[in-house]
Amino acid sequence: MISNNNFLFIFSNYYTTITFNLDSFFCTLFNLNNDSLFLSEYLFIFVFLIVSFIISVVITFFSYLTAIQNPEVEKLSAYECGFEPYEDARKQINIKFYIIAMLFIIFDLETMYLIPWCVSLSVTNYVGYWLMLDFIFELSIGFLYVWYVGGLDWSQDN
């Protein structure tokens, strides 16, 4: 019976042998010396990428091979929700939707910068404090401008 210490010793020797074999393989493949940065730092990342690519190709191949490719009439219909469409799918969307989405992203990023500043406020010096207040002031001016122009008003039709 193999004890845990012997198992770890055998496993570590096996791992060292695999590592050494990969090192020598890539040394001969790419004409590298044994003390190269590629072998010491990037070899395992490279091997991981190759293995993950091979696994993804194999999984995709077998999922396509084993899937049942026999769709029914209901599956081939325009929608699977149970009713026919009642208007054209190429209807134009109001541009206000995109403007509101962009404004949300801008002011959401403000929050992303504001939260770490609030957490580290006790160790921030006066320059960092006033720079962030300037940042908040400029974004507030932008928000007031958008509000004044009517960018947030849905009742206007443009």
Q: Position of tokens 């770890």?
A: 8
User: Contact 107/99 with Cβ under 8 angstroms?
Assistant: no
Q: Position of tokens 């206000």?
A: 96
pLDDT in tens, 2-47: 544 444 444 454 445 555 566 666 666 666 665 666 666 777 788 8
| Chain mean pLDDT for the chain | 75
Residue of higher predicted confidence among 57 and 40: 57
Name the amino acid, one letter, at 11.
Answer: F
Q: pTM of the full predicted structure?
A: 0.40
pLDDT in tens, 71-88: 777 666 666 566 666 666
> Is pLDDT of 98 > 50?
yes
pLDDT at 53: 96
Q: Lowest-pLDDT range, 19-28, 51-60, 102-111, 115-124? A: 19-28
Residue of higher predicted confidence among 114 and 155: 114
Spatial separation of the C-alpha atoms in residues 56 and 3, rounded to whole Å:
37
> What is the chain's length?
158
Residue of higher predicted confidence among 66 and 70: 66
pLDDT at 113: 84
Spatial separation of the C-alpha atoms in residues 44 and 26, rounded to whole Å:
11
Q: What percent of the chain has pLDDT over 90?
A: 12
pLDDT in tens, 131-140: 889 988 998 8
